[in-house]
C-alpha cells in the first residue's frame, strides 16, 4: 500500500493476542493488546538508507508521541543509579538489579553487561521501578570460558547482541543458551577475533574490525534525526531483514540507536557474500512487519513493571513491553538458526524484491 508523494507505506495491523496458561487475564490483557495495535497501526516506513551492504529503513509514527520518563541502562550505570550483581554465589541465567534512584530504568533485551563471573546478555526488555532492590532478571552467558569474578559489579561498554543473539534470547527456547554460545563462536570466527574466554565483547575490541564498524556507524548514525517523529528502524543486510525496533518516543530511540546500529554493523561487516546479495526495499520491509498480524501473542508480567507480549510464529519472533497503556518498545526478528542465514517470512520470494533502493 503506497501513499502519494514519497510513497509512504503505512503499516496498519490488527494483532491477535492469545492468553496462555499462567499469563495475566482480564482488562490488563485487553489494554496491552490495544496499545500494541494502536502503536503499530500508526507506524510509517521511510525511505531506505544504505551504506555498503547494510540497509536501514527509518520508522516514524503518525501519532503524537510523548517522551516517556525513563533512563537507559547506560545512563543509569554511568550515574551510579543502578547496581547489577550476581545472585548469591552466581547463577548463569539470572542477575539481580538494584535501582538506587528515584528514576524508572529501561533495560533493553540484548544489551551486554560485563563483569561478575562472566559477561551476560539481557534476555528481554525490563522496566525497573524507583528504589527497587533485588529484582531478578533473566540473562544469557556470552563468555563461555570464564566463571571467575573479575569484579563484583557489572558495567557496560555500550554494546548490544547481534540480531541472532537477540532473536535466540527473545524466543526463550530450551536450547537458547547453547544456540547463543554457538552464535558467539561463529561471529568470532567470521570476524577473525578469537577470545581466550569466548567473550562476545572481545569481538568489538579487535582493532581492524572496529575501524570497519566505525565507518558503517558514521554513514548511518544520523537516522534518528533525519525526520521528526522517527521512533525506530528496520535493519537489513543485502536482501535479508535482520531486525525491527520501534520505541515509545523519538528520544528513547535516539539514545538506543547507537547500540542497534553497532550490532547491525557487526552483522554487516562479517556477512558472507551470499548473505549480502540483493537489497531490501520498503515494500519488502512492509511485508515483514505485516507478518506480525499473523502472530499470536501471549501476555505475561514484566520483570518488574509492565506487561510483556511475546509471540513466536515459526519464522518470526516478536516482543513488546507495555506499561500504563504505552508501548515502550516492540522488537521483531527472523528466528535465528545458528550457523545459518536468517529465514525469509513465508510466502515471500526473495528474487522478487531485488529492485534496488528508491
pLDDT for residue 188 = 94
Q: What is the mean pLDDT of the chain?
A: 84
Give 146's contacts (C-beta < 8 A, 6+ positions apart).
117, 118, 119, 197, 198, 199
Higher pLDDT, 51 or 65: 51
Whose CA is closest to 268, among 304, 233, 241, 296?
A: 241
Q: Are 86 and 97 in contact (CB under 8 A)?
A: no
195: number of Cβ within 10 Å: 19
The DSSP symbol for 144 reads T
Give 189's contacts (C-beta < 8 A, 6+ positions apart).
none
Pairwise CA distance, residues 344 & 347, whole Å: 8
Q: So where are the chain's domains? A: 9-346
**Nine-digit cell string for 129:** 521501578
136: pLDDT strictly greater than 80? yes
Segment 198-245, tens digit of pLDDT: 999 999 988 889 999 999 999 999 999 998 889 999 999 999 999 999
Pairwise CA distance, residues 289 & 32, whole Å: 19
CA torsion 272→278→284→285, rounded to 10°? 40
Pairwise CA distance, residues 58 & 292, whole Å: 18
For residue 168, what is the enclosing H or E element? helix 163-171
User: To 5 degrees, how large is the angle CA 75–CA 79–CA 80?
Assistant: 115
285: pLDDT strictly greater than 50? yes
Q: Where are the beta strands (DSSP E) in 117-275?
A: 120-122, 126-128, 135-141, 151-155, 230-237, 240-247
Segment 163-200, tens digit of pLDDT: 999 999 987 777 899 999 999 999 999 999 999 999 99
Give 175's contacts (C-beta < 8 A, 6+ positions apart).
none
23: pLDDT strictly greater than 50? no
The CA-atom distances, in angstroms, between 324 and each of 28, 30, 130, 241, 244 are 9, 12, 16, 31, 23
**Nine-digit cell string for 72:** 537507559
Which residue matches cell numbers 570464564?
A: 146
The CA-atom distances, in angstroms, between 167 and each of 40, 117, 194, 198 are 20, 24, 23, 20
Which residue matches cell numbers 524508572?
A: 104
Pairwise CA distance, residues 8 & 227, whole Å: 13
16: pLDDT strictly greater than 60? no
Segment 272-283, tens digit of pLDDT: 988 888 889 999
Pairwise CA distance, residues 314 & 331, whole Å: 16
Amino acid at each position: 500500500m503506497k501513499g502519494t508523494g514519497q510513497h509512504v507505506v503505512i503499516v496498519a495491523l490488527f494483532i491477535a493476542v492469545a492468553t496462555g496458561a499462567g499469563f495475566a487475564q482480564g482488562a490488563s490483557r485487553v489494554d496491552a493488546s490495544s496499545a500494541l495495535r494502536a502503536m503499530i497501526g500508526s507506524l510509517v516506513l521511510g525511505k531506505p538508507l544504505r551504506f555498503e551492504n547494510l540497509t536501514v529503513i527509518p520508522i516514524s509514527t503518525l501519532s503524537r508521541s510523548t517522551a516517556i520518563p525513563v533512563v537507559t541502562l547506560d545512563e543509569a550505570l554511568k550515574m551510579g543509579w543502578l547496581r547489577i550483581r550476581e545472585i548469591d554465589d552466581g547463577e548463569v541465567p539470572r542477575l539481580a538489579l538494584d535501582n538506587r534512584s528515584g528514576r524508572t530504568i529501561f533495560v533493553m533485551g540484548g544489551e551486554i553487561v560485563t563483569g561478575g563471573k562472566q559477561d551476560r546478555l539481557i534476555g528481554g526488555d525490563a522496566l525497573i521501578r524507583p528504589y527497587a532492590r533485588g529484582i531478578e532478571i533473566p540473562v544469557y552467558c556470552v563468555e563461555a570460558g570464564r566463571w571467575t569474578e573479575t569484579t563484583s559489579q557489572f558495567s557496560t561498554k555500550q554494546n548490544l547482541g547481534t540480531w541472532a543473539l537477540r532473536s535466540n534470547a527473545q524466543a526463550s527456547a530450551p536450547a537458547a543458551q547453547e544456540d547463543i554460545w554457538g552464535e558467539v563462536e561463529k561471529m568470532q570466527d567470521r570476524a577473525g577475533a578469537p577470545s581466550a574466554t569466548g567473550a562476545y565483547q572481545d569481538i568489538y575490541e579487535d582493532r581492524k574490525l572496529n575501524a570497519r564498524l566505525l565507518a558503517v556507524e558514521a554513514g548511518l548514525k544520523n537516522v534518528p534525526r533525519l525526520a521528526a517523529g522517527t521512533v525506530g528502524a528496520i535493519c537489513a543486510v543485502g536482501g535479508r531483514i535482520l531486525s525491527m525496533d520501534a520505541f515509545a518516543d523519538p528520544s528513547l530511540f535516539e539514545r538506543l540507536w547507537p547500540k542497534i546500529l553497532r550490532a547491525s554493523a557487526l552483522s554487516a561487516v562479517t556477512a558472507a557474500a551470499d548473505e549480502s546479495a540483493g537489497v531490501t526495499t520498503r515494500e519488502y520491509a512492509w511485508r515483514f512487519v505485516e507478518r506480525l498480524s499473523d502472530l499470536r501473542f501471549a501476555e505475561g508480567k514484566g520483570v518488574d513493571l509492565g506487561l510483556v507480549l511475546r509471540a513466536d510464529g515459526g519464522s518470526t519472533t516478536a516482543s513488546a513491553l507495555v506499561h500504563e497503556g504505552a508501548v515502550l518498545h516492540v522488537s521483531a526478528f527472523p528466528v535465528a538458526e545458528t550457523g545459518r542465514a536468517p529465514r525469509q517470512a513465508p510466502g515471500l520470494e526473495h528474487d522478487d524484491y531485488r529492485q534496488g533502493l528508491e
